[in-house]
Every structure is written in C-alpha cells, then in structure tokens.
Structure 1
C-alpha cells in the first residue's frame, strides 16, 4: 500500500477531525502513519501513531519537533506528506524538495483574518514568516480547505484544491444519542470548545445570571480549555452569581464530553464576529445537531442558512445577553418544541451535513494527488 505521513505539531492525537474523520477514511486505502502530539505510540485500526511533544508556543514546537519530524520522515520515506499546521510549511517544502513527493496542506482557519488575535505567538517577524510561507504553499502544495469562505483569500493556487467541511461522522455519535428528556426544574446546557471572550463567554455569563432568577438550579457542562486567565474570569460580570452552576472539565476527548450531552436542554455555540468566524462554520453547531440537541448560536448569515432553514434552534446576537437568555428560557418552557427542533437538526445532519458525504470528496482528491 502507498505510505502516507500525516503530521501535526499543534493538533493533539485526539483532534476530532484527524482522529475520527480523516485517518479512518484513508486507513482502508493507504498505509497511514500519524505524527501527533500527546498521543500513545502504537498501531490502532490500521493506523500507526508516533507521539510528538506538545508546547503552547510555536517556537518551542518548531525547535523540538522539527528535528523529530524530519528524522521520522527520512526514515519512513512516505509517498505523500500531509500537514495540518502553518508552522510546518517550511519543513514540508524542504521534504518535498528532498524526497520529490507531493504535499497536502489542510487550512483549518483563515489566519490572515486572525493575526491580530494570535497575541501569544505574534511578532512582526512571525507574521512576515507566515505570509511568506503561506504564499509558498499556494504555489507548490495541494490545499484542503475546511470552509468555502477561505477560498476568497486563497484565489491564486498553482495546484488543485478542495473544500472538505468538518461535518460529523454519524456512527461516532450514535452511542451518545438519547431520547430528548429534560428536567425543567434543573435544566442542563452543554458546551464543547475553547472558552474565550472571542466566543462570547462574557455575554453568556450575563445571560445565565438572568436565567438564574427563574431557574436557580440550572447547570452548564463546559468542555474545553479556558483561554481566559482565572483572575479575569472571576471578575467578569455575572460570574460570581453563576459560578456554582458552571462545571468546567477542561479539555477531554469527545467520548468523555458527549456523554454529558444526554439530558441537555440545548447546545451552546456562540461566537463574536471577529476574525474568520462569520465566514466559518463552528463544528460544534453540527455536532449538537447530530446529538439531537436544539442549538443557540450567533446570528451570522452563514449560520442562519443552516439553523433557520432547518428550524433547529435560534440565531441570536452574541452581544445580547437578553436575547440569549430568552432563547434558553424558551427551550426550558417549551420542551416539545425544543425536542422537535433537535429532531429536525438531526435529520439535517443525516441528509446534508455529514462526513459520509465529505469523505467521498476526500478520497477523490487523494486519488487526484496520487493517481
């Protein structure tokens, strides 16, 4: 079988797209080796994993992992080098020239619209280096985009590209689906993803503080790393009032997180209109729909096309705590309507927004790169 090397220095081995979508799709057709941080070395379901180190800062990841990735690449001699991070672009070009093999680069976010927000890694030199490396990738690599909106930025490509959305894998969600049944006296809400001000967590706190006046025993399960420093988080308006209602789990794998979606009243997916968010689907929107949960999400036109078209929740301003609280209150007080919304969302995922349809395009693109 043709040997493919998948490499990420920023995405962990449990990254949902890599672990549950991309690699299982390719495994029956290719010999796959995945170099990923925080993984367990070994072979599972036909995929060989090699663990890399993970660091928060880019320069640390480059300094430590570049030599490891290069050594493994030269040792394994793959027919294709598939990367997921912009920091790997220079190394990928070196590998391409050295081994004379094609490179696939997956673009998971439009960094041109996020450079100001990447404060922890941003310097003028880093910005210059990214732009230069990215232009090089547009000339020499095959690109996979996770959103159609990114193609407005990436207009001048020398090689074929494709858009493969990050839609849910339906069989993966089956064990976590339950009949929609909530406790109106102690409603539960579910969130998975980064917890940050960019994702309207401050506005959500105000909405929850308002909700508590009528439903003091509500709970919110929060899965994901918190990007808000603790001394800032505890001083946010509304936090002191609802902190006992919030359960922070930190980052976990999805198998752990989605067990807590059972019995939830709704899934939360709020983002502020910053960076590339308005032109990018938030993956959690479709994951909640796959679980049969009604959703509360931002009122971006892109999101409205999904939520309002299928009647599976509410799109509200991420800066309006009253609108958010009203949406949550409506779900609590109208259980049958909320259940119907969740069912319509699930049906939409079954027919349109699922990885099964995307995987066919993925394999077709691979055959184009490796005829």
Structure 2
C-alpha cells in the first residue's frame, strides 16, 4: 500500500490508460484502484537469503507478465533490471533515496565496512543506470548524480495528492483555534532516533512548563526497542501515541493539530531530501516546524508557512511550538500559505504529468 508507488504512480498510469501490474513481496493477489497486485512470497529466514530468494521470485513473476515496461523501486532489484534488459525489455529505475548515503547510516552493516559498501553500491548504480531506459529520481539532488549516468533521468517529486489531506481546511476549528480546543502538535511517520523523536518529546515537555500541549505521535518504532526507551523519558506523559495509522486516520489527525513537526537530524541524506511529511502538513493547512536545512528553509521561508529550527536544540524547538500556540491568527495564516503553495506548486497532479510523458516516450 505504499503511497508513492501504488496510490500515486500506479494509479496515475492506470488512469492514463495503461494496464498496471504491481509485483509485491509477501502480499496476496488483489486489485486496488484498478491496479492488479501480484504477490510473491519468500520462506527464507535471514535477511540475505530472503533478499536473494525474493528477487529471484520477482524476476520469475516479471517474466510471466511479459510487460512492455518494467519499473522497479528497490536497489536490490538492479540485477533483475539488468536481466530484463538482457531479454530486450524496457526498464525504469525509480530512485527514492541516495543509496550510498543511506548505506553509511545502516546499523546492520558493521561500521568499518560501511564506506566500502557505499562505494560498491555507488559503482554498481552507475554501471546499471547507464543501461536502463530511464531513471526516475525523487529529488533534484539525486537527479544531478544520475544525469551523469543516464541522460534520460527525470525528477518526479513525491508531493501530496491535492485532495487527500484537505479535510477541515475551511472549518472554524482549523482556521482559528479556540481556548477550549485541546492544543497539540503532531508527528506522523517512521519513528527513529535520527528523525528526532527524543528532541520532539523533550521540547513538548519544555513547552508544558508554561502552557499545556499534547504531542500526538503516529507511526511505527524502528528498532522496536526504541519504543521502550522513549517511554521511559519524563516527557512521555505528554505524548498520545496512536500507533500505525492508515491514510484516512492520518487525514483525521492532521485536521485537529495546531502544528506539524518534521525535525530530522542533519544527516547528509536528510539535508538534501524533500520530506513528504513537510508537504503533507502544508497540504492539510498546518503550520510546520521543520529542521533548518537550507533546502527546507528555502521552501518554508519562501511560502511563509512555518518556522525552521535547529533540530538538535530543544529550547529552539520549544520556542517555535510556543510561538505557534501563542499566535493562532498568525498560525492560521501560515497554514493557509502552505496549502496555497501545495495547490500552486507542490502537488502530485503536476508531477504525474511528467511520469505519463516518460511512459509515452518509451512506448
């Protein structure tokens, strides 16, 4: 049910008249939004064997489909993409993140080996990408590297769907928070140390020294042990943990919050990323409190839709939260500015046009 792959890309292609089959590990055969889901299941136990066995099963199913175009999203499927090219197929590699930078922060790879593994990953990406028919990248930064490998490289941002998260945009509750409304800030997404979970909890605790505010937290912890660790923090008493949320529940949560937090740590891969959470908060009409990376500051400042802070500075984060809560009219204006920017620039409907054009060029 990946939002970028199924709901945005597959569904947009299906609406444009293509027959779309989505091959997915450990899923049952089904149909969603006119897209056929074809599941493959690996019984291998450990990570390496499961990866190798699953990719083999994906390749076998891909051949059975005898498709005109193959579009894959996982770096471990690059060898499968090359095999399909060897059989005369057209292949697109969709790059969501900077793989070499991602490898450098993988906890399961022993630290002494990370640089050499990252170098090997980058070298193989260069070799494979030159042979694919096209490369799709999620950010301009990643695009710069892949353009040197393959001139048919297109950036298709993972911006939100225009209508998905706009519930409550015109309601009095959203536009003008009241004294009776329970004030809250929200973070919905993967919950990791590097995504600022401890700083968010500590900053909300700091704000509660002056005024009551709840931190509404949705998503899954990784690793699972992190949940027990953060629940021991003194600020956990101000957290309302919601667990994993479906898209409808995400919409509901965003419609009631006062601000959205996206406070990733200054890791190299994050600094140059376009975080979908930032744009989802804007789409829902929420003022954002975001990490002060130059790329993010450019978006937030240009659109006057929030406040950028040092994501490692609890005092600074707390001050930003308090500023939003103390100034509801200004906060509502920020929210409206963010929503306007989504409607004018940062939406999937515009991005999908480039995806469809790419397929038309390949067919």
Settle same-fold status: TM greater than 0.5. Answer: yes
Q: Deviations over 1:20-67 (max 9, x none)?
A: 210111002211000124544222332101124489975244233223
1:137 aligns with 2:128: yes
Cα shift at 1:187? 1.2
Counterpart in the other structure of 1:11: none
Cα shift at 1:245? 2.2
1:276 aligns with 2:269: yes
Task: Give, in whole Å, the separation in 2 of the partners of 1:301 and 1:96.
Answer: 39
Counterpart in the other structure of 2:163: 171
Cα shift at 1:243? 1.3
Runs of 4+ deviating beyond 6 Å: 54-57
Contact (CA 8 Å) 1:193, 1:225: kept in 2 or not? Answer: yes
Equivalent positions of 1:164-243 (< 5 A) are: 164-175=156-167, 177=169, 179=171, 180=174, 181-182=176-177, 184=179, 186-216=182-212, 218-230=213-225, 234-235=228-229, 240-243=233-236
Deviates more, 1:116-125 or 1:256-265: 116-125
Contact (CA 8 Å) 1:53, 1:61: kept in 2 or not? Answer: no
1:315 aligns with 2:308: yes
CA shift in 2, pair 1:188/1:222, >3 Å:
same
Q: Which of the residues 100, 104, 107 maps onto 2:92?
A: 104
CA shift in 2, pair 1:145/1:176, >3 Å:
farther
Task: Give, in whole Å, the separation in 1 of the partners of 2:282 and 2:66.
Answer: 41
Unaligned runs of 5+ in 2: none
Task: Give, in whole Å, the separation in 2 of the partners of 1:235 and 1:290.
Answer: 32
Cα shift at 1:93? 0.8
Cα shift at 1:255? 2.1
1:15 aligns with 2:8: no
Contact (CA 8 Å) 2:135, 2:150: kept in 1 or not? Answer: no
Unaligned runs of 5+ in 1: 1-13
Question: How large is the RMSD of aligned CA atoms in angstroms?
Answer: 2.4
Counterpart in the other structure of 1:90: 79
The aligned length equals 353
Q: Deviations over 1:302-354 (max 9, x none)?
A: 11111111111000011111110011111111111111110110001000111
Counterpart in the other structure of 2:139: 147
TM-score, with length taken from structure 1:
0.87
Q: Which of the residues 8, 13, 22 maps onto 1:26?
A: 13
Contact (CA 8 Å) 2:103, 2:117: kept in 1 or not? Answer: no
Cα shift at 1:177? 4.5
TM-score, with length taken from structure 2:
0.89
Contact (CA 8 Å) 1:36, 1:52: kept in 2 or not? Answer: yes
